[in-house]
């Protein structure tokens, strides 16, 4: 194992598992933890995670939901290998399968119209002329997939009434809602995430349902900090440090 790779105990994230992290590339953040919590009420036996990185969302979901099979796809070879090492470490190889590939071609790997839920923590930012291709920029910027690619693929994989869960940037809510409608995904829930009371939202959580008319419930905002460096009670509950 390389010197820059470490094992992180996920018990501090409310999970019984562990995960390998490569600190020289891209490590997961609170957005993955919030997404897995937002999707914790998934029903059904078949789930797919897009842009999985080192597999953090599937591994967190494995401790929260009863799905028998969680598939995941990631375009970066090194991240796929790291995710597979984590699955071996946790004994999850029979429950989670991580595939190397371009999510735009996911339907050549996975069966269309069969998934009960799809999750995605995709790149948030559009590329520009200064974008340089490296593991961090691939995770953060739309080098290999656009927001439309993500939503289109989610719709193709989901069965009728299957659920799509995504975390993204608030500045792209308008685009997200237009694309959800374009690909027959009815927006059902939306929750803004603010660093603290009075701050501008930094993230947005979205739940949509395939073949369902939009009937959007905008939930109360989630505050991350009650004061500098101190998580709110709700975030501590999400991390499993307080009871539900």
Residue 145: burial class (beta carbons within 10 Å; 0-12, 13-18, 19+): buried
pLDDT (tens digit, 9 = 90+) per residue, 227-236? 999 999 999 9
Q: Report phi then psi at 47, rounded to 5.
A: -130, 145
Cβ atoms of 48 and 72 within 8 Å: the answer is: yes
Q: Is the predicted pLDDT of residue 134 greater than 90, yes or no?
A: no
pLDDT (tens digit, 9 = 90+) per residue, 162-189? 999 999 999 999 999 999 999 999 999 9
Average pLDDT of 206-226? 96
The 10 Å Cβ neighbour count of residue 214 is 13
Q: Beta strand pairing status for 225-227 and 217-218? A: unpaired
Residue 233: burial class (beta carbons within 10 Å; 0-12, 13-18, 19+): exposed
Average pLDDT, the chain: 93
Q: Establish how many alpha carbons lie within 13 A of residue 146's alpha carbon, considering only the half-sphere containing its beta carbon.
A: 8
pLDDT (tens digit, 9 = 90+) per residue, 34-63? 999 999 999 999 999 999 999 999 999 999
Q: Is the predicted pLDDT of residue 121 greater than 60, yes or no?
A: yes
User: Residue 130's pLDDT band (boundaries 50, 70, 90)?
Assistant: low
Q: Is the predicted pLDDT of residue 1 greater than 60, yes or no?
A: no
DSSP 3-state of 209: strand
Q: Is the predicted pLDDT of residue 28 greater than 80, yes or no?
A: yes
């Amino acid at each position: 194992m390389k010197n820059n790779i470490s094992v992180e105990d996920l018990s501090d994230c409310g999970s019984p598992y562990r995960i390998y992290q490569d600190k020289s590339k891209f490590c997961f953040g609170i957005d993955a933890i919030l997404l897995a919590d937002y999707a914790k009420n998934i029903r059904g036996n078949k789930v797919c995670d897009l842009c999985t990185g080192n597999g953090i969302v599937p591994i967190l979901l494995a401790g929260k939901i009863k799905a028998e099979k969680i598939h995941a796809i990631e375009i970066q070879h090194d991240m796929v290998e790291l995710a597979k090492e984590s699955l071996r470490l946790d004994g999850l190889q029979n429950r989670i399968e991580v595939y190397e590939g371009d999510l735009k071609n996911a339907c050549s790997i996975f069966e269309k119209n069969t998934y009960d839920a799809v999750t995605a923590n995709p790149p948030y930012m559009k590329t520009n002329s200064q974008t340089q291709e490296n593991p961090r920029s691939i995770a953060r910027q739309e080098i290999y997939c656009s927001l439309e690619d993500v939503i289109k693929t989610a719709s193709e994989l989901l069965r009728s009434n299957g659920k799509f869960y995504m975390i993204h940037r608030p500045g792209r809510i308008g685009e997200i809602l237009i694309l959800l409608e374009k690909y027959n995904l009815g927006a059902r829930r939306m929750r803004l995430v603010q660093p603290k009371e009075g701050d501008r939202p930094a993230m947005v959580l979205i739940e949509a349902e395939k073949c369902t008319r939009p009937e959007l419930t905008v939930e109360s905002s989630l505050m991350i900090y009650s004061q500098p460096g101190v998580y709110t009670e709700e975030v501590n509950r999400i991390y499993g440090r307080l009871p539900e």
